Amino acid sequence: MKQTVFFGLILLLGLSACRAQPTPAPTAAPTVIPDPFRPTAPEAVRDELFDQVGFFLTNPVYRDSLSSSGAVVSTLGLPLISSGKVERHQSGEITLYLVDAYVLSKDQNAYRIWVAVGAEKGAEAYFPILNPDASAEDRLTWLQTTFYRGRIFSLYAPPSMASPNQVNFNGAPEDFPAWYRDLAIEQQEKHQSYLKRLLTWSLQEVPSDWILAGWMVSLYSDDKSLTLSGETSE
């Protein structure tokens, strides 16, 4: 009988101890800090880019060219390679159409940079390259088809906009919207030090929020396109 009472007391004490245990506080989710810089291309893709278009690094971005009249004029011309990723991005009231592009650097890396190839604000739109038959609803699809993976295209600034260290957006064509010019100037001023490196093929990193906006765009022919390995999206 004494043993039964003894074990009963032990059981009750054990149950009381279990009830007295405080409920553990929920574990807070770890804070995810976004990377301030964009990733470089994977090693396999980098090697393919340098093997196929490494000669780009021998061509100055700011250079003299001959105009149709034979006069010597200064221009900016920057060849890039599409990663195949094209998407919309909202910047205040402006919708930007962005191409994720590879750009080579003398440090033997291939960097990724966002390039604006068109913009909309309300009913206004500006696309330096776009099929005129593409409706507003079809613009993204057309651009995704055009800027497929491995497609080479060029950003350029005509003589009225070209200077050694930046683009002079005040010299843009008459059809260049003021709201897009202001956005392009804001991006350029915010990332001026990176732009100077870009124009000398000497990038060492690319800020995640940097968008090359306001440049003119031209496409290389399809037969110049590159064959690139796939890669995991960011």
Report d(CA 47, CA 30) in Å as an integer: 36
State percent of the chain over pLDDT 90: 73
pTM reported for the whole predicted model: 0.83
Q: Is 186 exposed, middle or buried (0-12, 13-18, 19+ CB in 10 A)?
A: middle
The predicted-structure confidence for 42-69, as pLDDT tens digits, reads as follows: 999 999 999 999 999 999 999 988 777 8
20: confidence class by pLDDT, cuts 50, 70, 90: very low
The closest of 44, 181, 165 to 102, measured between CA atoms, is: 44
CA atoms 133, 136, 138, 144: torsion sign: positive
In the block, tokens 């190839």 appear at 117
Helix (H, G, I), strand (E, B) or coil at 195: helix
7: confidence class by pLDDT, cuts 50, 70, 90: very low
CA atoms 218, 222, 227, 230: torsion sign: positive
The predicted-structure confidence for 115-138, as pLDDT tens digits, reads as follows: 999 999 999 999 989 877 788 889
The closest of 81, 53, 67 to 152, measured between CA atoms, is: 81
Q: Pick 70 or 44 by higher pLDDT.
A: 44
The pLDDT, as a whole number, for residue 42 is 95
Instruction: Name the residue ranges covered by the structural domains of the chain.
Output: 39-224
Q: Is 63 exposed, middle or buried (0-12, 13-18, 19+ CB in 10 A)?
A: exposed
The predicted-structure confidence for 153-188, as pLDDT tens digits, reads as follows: 999 999 999 999 999 999 999 999 999 999 999 999
CB 101 within 8 A of CB 151: no
If you average pLDDT over every residue of the chain, what do you get? 88
Q: Is the pLDDT of residue 32 over 60?
A: no
